[in-house]
Amino acid sequence: MPPPPTLTSLGLARAPRDHPLTYPGPWPAASALLQGDRLLPLDRLTHPGRTPVLAVGSNACPGQLRHKMDEFGIASPIPMTKARVAGLEVGVSAHVSRLGYISASPVDAPGAVRELFVIWLDDEQLRVVDASEGADSPEGNYARVPLPGPEFRVELENGHVLPGTYAYVNRHGVLHDGTGAPRRHLDQRTLITELLKKSAELRRLFGGTPEEFCARARADADLCERGTRLLREEKLVTASGLEHLYAPRRRGRNATPQVRSAGPPS
């Protein structure tokens, strides 16, 4: 029997952290078990004892997940299950990432249905992903919030509906589409091109092309903070509609204990 395909052979190895214009990175075609550099078949779609987290951006990219775990020497597998999600859309986070891109964030969207991935994290993996998103700090870019099942329906491929999941919601808000409604996340090159075209100050700070934008952002954390403030100053930011889900977290399996930073935040 031939060995399972590698991420490289499947075209899933490139991570947005290294190639920011590819954000959110390539996603698997089907549910799978991420084990190191390989994707293996899943023997089941639900994983009791693990925390289900809805991935709307690069957390659904196996190459990105592998990098996050490799930084901490974590080799345990991560189940990734495809799901149909009702009530959410993928919006644009209102911050410039130090990894050189403008990331995604979920937004409230009654009536919308999206195909996304649920990643099932054990306690150790959850701490790493929380830290990478800034969810372990009140000043971080994202908060991990519960998505109640009745309000946000997450249905797996076998028809099983999860009673609830978690998602990372941007604390800065999201960008709007010009009408005040949250804009949908486009491919990174198109998104950055449109933002640069509309803002002379953004061009002054980050250059006139997506390539310049990414290079300057990756080289200067202070510049990223200035760019994040500029998005709000130019009134490009609106609420995600999920702010009501923020709540103090009790210590326990789904808490977000402090760990050292898992590299630059998303």
pLDDT exceeds 50 at position 89 = yes
pLDDT bracket for residue 3 (50, 70, 90): confident
Mean pLDDT, the chain, rounded, equals: 91
pLDDT digits (tens, 9 = 90+) for 8-25: 999 999 999 999 999 999
Q: Are 133 and 139 in contact (CB under 8 A)?
A: no
Q: Which of 58, 57, 3, 2 is nearest to 35 (CA)?
A: 3
Q: What are residue 264's DSSP bridge partners?
A: none
What average pLDDT does range 239-247 have in this prediction?
A: 87
What average pLDDT does range 84-98 have in this prediction?
A: 97
pLDDT bracket for residue 133 (50, 70, 90): very high
pLDDT exceeds 90 at position 38 = yes
What average pLDDT does range 217-234 have in this prediction?
A: 96
pLDDT bracket for residue 249 (50, 70, 90): very low
pLDDT bracket for residue 2 (50, 70, 90): confident
Give residue 266's pLDDT.
58
Q: What are residue 82's DSSP bridge partners?
A: 117
Q: Which of 126, 206, 137, 218 is nearest to 171 (CA)?
A: 137
pLDDT exceeds 50 at position 253 = no
Query: How many CA atoms within 13 Å lie on the side-chain side of 43?
Result: 1
Token pair for residue 222? 């202070």
Give residue 1's pLDDT.
72
Give residue 219's pLDDT.
83
Q: By percentage, how much of the chain surpasses pLDDT 70? A: 92
Q: By percentage, how much of the chain surpasses pLDDT 90? A: 86
Radius of gyration of the chain (CA): 18
pLDDT exceeds 70 at position 252 = no
Under DSSP, the state recorded for 2 is P
pLDDT exceeds 90 at position 255 = no
Burial 117-143 (b: 16+ CB within 10 A, else e): bbbbbbeebbbbbbbbbbbbbeebbbb
Amino acid at 119: I
- Count the helices and strands in the chain (H runs, E runs): 7, 10
d(C-alpha 193, C-alpha 174), whole Å: 17
d(C-alpha 96, C-alpha 85), whole Å: 26
d(C-alpha 32, C-alpha 6), whole Å: 12
pLDDT bracket for residue 250 (50, 70, 90): very low
Give residue 33's pLDDT.
97
Give residue 261's pLDDT.
32
Q: What are residue 169's DSSP bridge partners?
A: 143
d(C-alpha 210, C-alpha 20), whole Å: 10
Q: What are residue 142's DSSP bridge partners?
A: 170
Token pair for residue 4? 């399972």
